Structure 1
Amino acid sequence: MTYFSDFYFTSNLTSFACPDFGSSQCVAPKACARDPTTGKGYCCDPSFDGETGSGVCWALTSDCTNDNRQLTCRSGSSDWCCLYETEECTGVPEQRNVCWNRERSPLRNISVDVLEDLYSSLTSDAPTARTWAFDPATLLPETSTSTSATTTTTAPPTATGTITTSPISSPNDDSSDSLSGGAIAGIVVGAVAGVAIVLGGAFFLIKRRRKRVNAGPKPPPAELGYETRPVNQLYEADGNAMKMPLPPQELPAR
């Protein structure tokens, strides 16, 4: 979430200036935005390396009314006024007629390269537009690991960007995982070996018992009974002997 709203890039059709900025330009990667509390327009800067005062949202001076709602700023012989509750005097030496919003620019957490790429893409898609709106929150994931997004040291920021970190696994975690895996593997191997031993022992006992049974004395084979029948005797189909006529016999000579 950002404090400001209505972010957009300017174009040459708006003289690269935010509303009520006169001749002061706000050129990409800077972008115009609005303070939702006061409705005042600002130019929000990203953070530029080595540039004093970058990473803020700034606006031109307000008309001085000499009351408690304004803050008087002074540089040399010049005086100007800023809004007391939401603004502060510029922190850039010798800079005049500029007020900083107390809420720092959300663009300071976004890479300048990402902002410039977005501006190039938007202008290519709609080259005749006066402004190009965007949401800075959608650009934060693209610059979470970028080294170009830095914070300003000239004024204490009141909001921080989202920083994503990757969990770091410790050596102890790795060792515990490996030991648990080894223990599981050992249990499985032991179980398989135990089953194999039991089955082998049972097979051995059964085989040994069969050998003992087969080694005992065997009864002699039963003798086959044979029926003694007369030789050259014919028999009926039911097994009864057939009555054959006696052969003729010679009578003794007289």
Structure 2
Amino acid sequence: MSFTPWKQLPDRMKLLILSTEFPPGPGGIGTHAYELASGLQSLGWQVAVIAPQDYVTKAERVMFNEQLPFAVNTLANGSVARRLRQIWKTLRQTRPDLLIATGSRSLWAAMLLCPLLGIPWLAIGHGTEFKKSGRLVRFLTRQAVRRADEMVAVSRYTARLVADERPNPIPVIPNGADAKRFRPDLPTAPLRHELGLDGRQILLTVGHVSERKAQDIVIRALPAVLTQCPDAVYLIAGLPTRQAALQKLATELHVAEHVIFAGMVPPEQLPT
């Protein structure tokens, strides 16, 4: 099926964002890509996205995409070769003025395909992609950083990780937050009541429940926290990959009654 996102507006730059993930499913890189696409679209760019949209149903994905002001080409599940073919076809059809690659596999694909079509591309460095195990993975990622036409890092830490791979200092654009969604004046009482947490002090983390996100550190600290705040509760929101292991840890530390796993939280509920 042809993917033709651009309108006939020759004075507006055409931007294609290639990401390793994209909403409505979870993931920080996907959220970053979504906010980037939304912001650049509002500034007058013609934006399109190509990315997987995992951990949601087809109906949820279609409903989400229909509400966007830009087009999304969902990468199909399958082999690396299949996804590369889809990306290649999209690049040939759309011929963007610039491609932004975000996430390690996106960097690899951009490094391989963009030069063949003469499409300039920019790499976004988040940090985790440069710390992954596996010699081949690290080699491919660093090669991509070297070959990108431009690069931006989301933190000084990330920029330092790959500073030796670039001829010039890497610009840093820190991650931001949507001030229209996340505000201190939002009502929290209804959700507190729904969770049975009226009057309790809540420690909240939102993110993939995984070893890298290190929710276990908070659980290990809870015995000390509870000596000062006996009614405190740790609310863990996110894809519950390591939930069983963390529940076991909480039980061993006798803090299980103070740990709640909320699972994946719909985006509209997150601000409260």
TM-score range, shorter chain: under 0.3
Find the structure with the greater CA-based Rg. 1
Relative to its length, the structure with more helix (as a share) is: 2
Query: Higher relative contact order at CA 8 Å, sep ≥6: structure 1 or structure 2?
Result: 1
TM-score (norm 2): 0.19
TM-score (norm 1): 0.20
